[in-house]
Amino acid sequence: MKKILSIIIALIVIAGCSDEFLDTENLTQKTSSNFPANIDEANQALTGIYTILPSFSAMSNILMLSELRSDDRFGGGGQNDRDPQAINVFRVTTENLHSNCWSNYYRGIFRCNTLLSSLDNVKWDSDESRKSIVGQTYFLRAYYYFDLARLFGPVPMPLNPEPENLPKAAPDVLYGQIASDLKNAIENLPDKPADYTQIGRASKWAAEALMARMFLFYTGYYQKSEITLPEDGGKITKDDVIAWVDDCVANSGHQLVDDFRNLWPYSISQEHYGYARDNDLHWVGDDGGNTEAIFQIAYAPVTSSNWSEQVWYSNQVDLYCGFRNSELQVPFGRGWGFMPVNPKLYEDWPNDDIRKQGSILNVNDESEGIEDEYVWGADMQWQETGFIGKKYIPINVVDNDAKVNYSVPMYGATTNFQINNTQNIIVIRLADVLLMGAELGSPSAQEYMDRVRARVGLPSVPVNLDNIKKERHYELAFEGQRYFDLLRWYGEDAGTVIKQNMNYAEIYNMTIKTTINADRNNGYFDQIDQRVKNTGGFLMIPNDEIELSKGVLEQNPGWVNSSNTMF
């Protein structure tokens, strides 16, 4: 599948220009007036929307932006890697730090709007084909808007491809549209069991799952009980969402992977990784073996001479989280040392939960079997803890006596540690859906909770919010959900929780041990709680976008005075 993806990944640029002044049909160029004209071209346009998903730079990827602001991680990197360290304490290094993030989402939205506005021009071969493309496009527009809304709060909401200088949409309006798009996706996408070979493609089940995630965030953060739809004032209620979750669990065909640890590529490396060998782990892979993944962002080796394309269509999150060593090693590969794990999470996590060692590498734990591969203080490592997330990190194997990323022998990736990570990012998986169903109050809530815990050998516990909070923390650690869970559970007080859980953690700056002291007035860790209150937990809108709008788009609260936001 990844070899196929590496061939079809291409940016489908849909021009918005018009040649009406010539009073003739353009026979040589594709424009919005003549493209797409048939089912093949509609699929090309849809592929162009999907190609936005893997093209975010690491520091613009929502997984990193959320993890860096959670209580589970520090910024890390080297002494001079200011960006992750700034985001970690809710600050910025430049007024346009998040430009790539903002513009990429709106590129995706523009492509969705362009395709949706062109549907009547397509000569469809069947109603089924039309509904599939319509459903996927609505899903992707909802996906892009929901990410924007979680990252930046209220944002402008263009719904057609024509240029508009729009102010921010009110939260109720924005989430109403997201809910409407997801409802359209659910109603249009095929009602049939999941096809695990359709990697990275939206399904009815992905739309139902994303609806639950969106509903929980909106109703939690904004303290609402339902969502009002824009078309007719209809409502999306908790009961509606529970029904969709139950439908996804019962009818999607998705199943929990037998061993939680087999979800992650480190389990491929039995021969050279003691932990994988001792626990008889076997990676389910990215290409159809993962029955649990409901929606993924697919990465692939790109057959391009353009370095920027090679970089952005590989999994840069893996690279940035790799060991900050100068040598290639097995199984954990070389990278930039970003996002070291908070040691307090490791200390608090019960040892009888296999997800602890299945999710966190303790470099001093002999049972890991990595011997002396880890080098403390490598390349001026900053905020080092000795605890590293295992889920998204380069994984190497030995191939023809050479240490290379597993993607080299498996998918023919280039032998270059900066571009050969092709691990898919799992956006939503069944365990998350089960826990959302339990939190929403499904009639099957206890069964859902028990299934997640039984998979890792833990006994049943009552379904209550405190237990659900713990379960989500341990099950979904390092998957980009923790920060948004804190926001929806605690609102603007989420910073108080983050500060408390970081306080007194031990870190090493270039091998020099220090202790986080959030009580010391240095303007960084001590102000996390106030910064979250001031900003609502949202990012700074790129200043270029504010200026481009000529005052129509207003900067988010807490980011207006740049002297108070710089790191």
Q: What is the pLDDT of residues 268-323, one digit of tens each?
A: 988 889 999 999 999 999 888 999 999 999 998 876 778 777 787 899 999 999 99
Higher-pLDDT residue of 4 and 208 is 208
Q: Say yes or no to pLDDT of 443 above 70.
A: yes
How much of the chain, in percent, has pLDDT values that exceed 90?
84
Is the distance from CB of 332 to CB of 377 less than 8 angstroms? no
Give CA–CA dist 108/14, Å, rounded: 11
Q: Which pLDDT does position 20 carry in this prediction?
A: 34
Q: Which pLDDT does position 317 carry in this prediction?
A: 97
pTM of the model: 0.94
Give CA–CA dist 414/65, Å, rounded: 28
Rounded to the nearest integer, the mean pLDDT of the chain is: 92
Structure tokens at 314: 């590989």
Region 331-350: mean pLDDT is 97
Within a 10 A sphere around the Cβ of 423, how many other Cβ atoms?
A: 25
Residues 6+ apart with CB under 8 A from 21: none
Is the distance from CB of 510 to CB of 79 less than 8 angstroms? yes
Q: Which pLDDT does position 1 carry in this prediction?
A: 59
The residues that bridge with 513 in the sheet, in sequence order, are 508
Is the distance from CB of 49 to CB of 112 less than 8 angstroms? yes
**Phi and psi (nearest 5°) for 389?**
-70, 135
Give CA–CA dist 142/185, Å, rounded: 9
How far the first Cα of the chain sits from its last, in Å, is 42
Is the distance from CB of 409 to CB of 422 less than 8 angstroms? no
**SS3 state of residue 554:** coil
Region 43-63: mean pLDDT is 96
376-391 pLDDT per residue, tens: 999 999 999 999 999 9
Structure tokens at 353: 């939960």
**Phi and psi (nearest 5°) for 530?**
-70, -35
**Phi and psi (nearest 5°) for 129?**
-65, -45
Per-range mean pLDDT, top range of 6-20, 288-302, 495-509, 510-524: 495-509
63-92 pLDDT per residue, tens: 999 999 999 999 999 999 999 999 999 999
Q: Which of 88-97, 124-133, 556-565 has the lowest mean pLDDT?
A: 556-565
Q: Which pLDDT does position 6 carry in this prediction?
A: 52
Region 162-170: mean pLDDT is 97
Confidence band, pLDDT 50/70/90 cuts, at residue 8 = very low
Confidence band, pLDDT 50/70/90 cuts, at residue 328 = confident
Q: Which pLDDT does position 76 carry in this prediction?
A: 98
Confidence band, pLDDT 50/70/90 cuts, at residue 447 = very high
Is the distance from CB of 188 to CB of 131 less than 8 angstroms? yes
Q: Which pLDDT does position 5 carry in this prediction?
A: 53
**Alpha helix (H) residue ranges in 415-523:** 430-440, 445-455, 465-475, 482-490, 494-502
Residues 6+ apart with CB under 8 A from 477: 72, 345, 355, 359, 360, 389, 391
Confidence band, pLDDT 50/70/90 cuts, at residue 3 = low
Nearest in space to 539 (alpha carbons), one of 83, 133, 198: 83
Q: Say yes or no to pLDDT of 22 above 60.
A: no
Give CA–CA dist 364/375, Å, rounded: 11
Q: Which pLDDT does position 287 carry in this prediction?
A: 85
Q: Say yes or no to pLDDT of 552 above 60.
A: yes
Q: Which pLDDT does position 540 carry in this prediction?
A: 98
Q: Which pLDDT does position 520 carry in this prediction?
A: 81
Q: Say yes or no to pLDDT of 41 above 80.
A: yes
**SS3 state of residue 129:** helix
Q: Say yes or no to pLDDT of 466 above 60.
A: yes
Confidence band, pLDDT 50/70/90 cuts, at residue 12 = very low
Residues 6+ apart with CB under 8 A from 161: 16, 32, 110, 113, 114, 117
Structure tokens at 347: 């200390």
Region 497-526: mean pLDDT is 91
Give CA–CA dist 179/157, Å, rounded: 14
Region 512-533: mean pLDDT is 89
**Phi and psi (nearest 5°) for 221?**
-70, -45
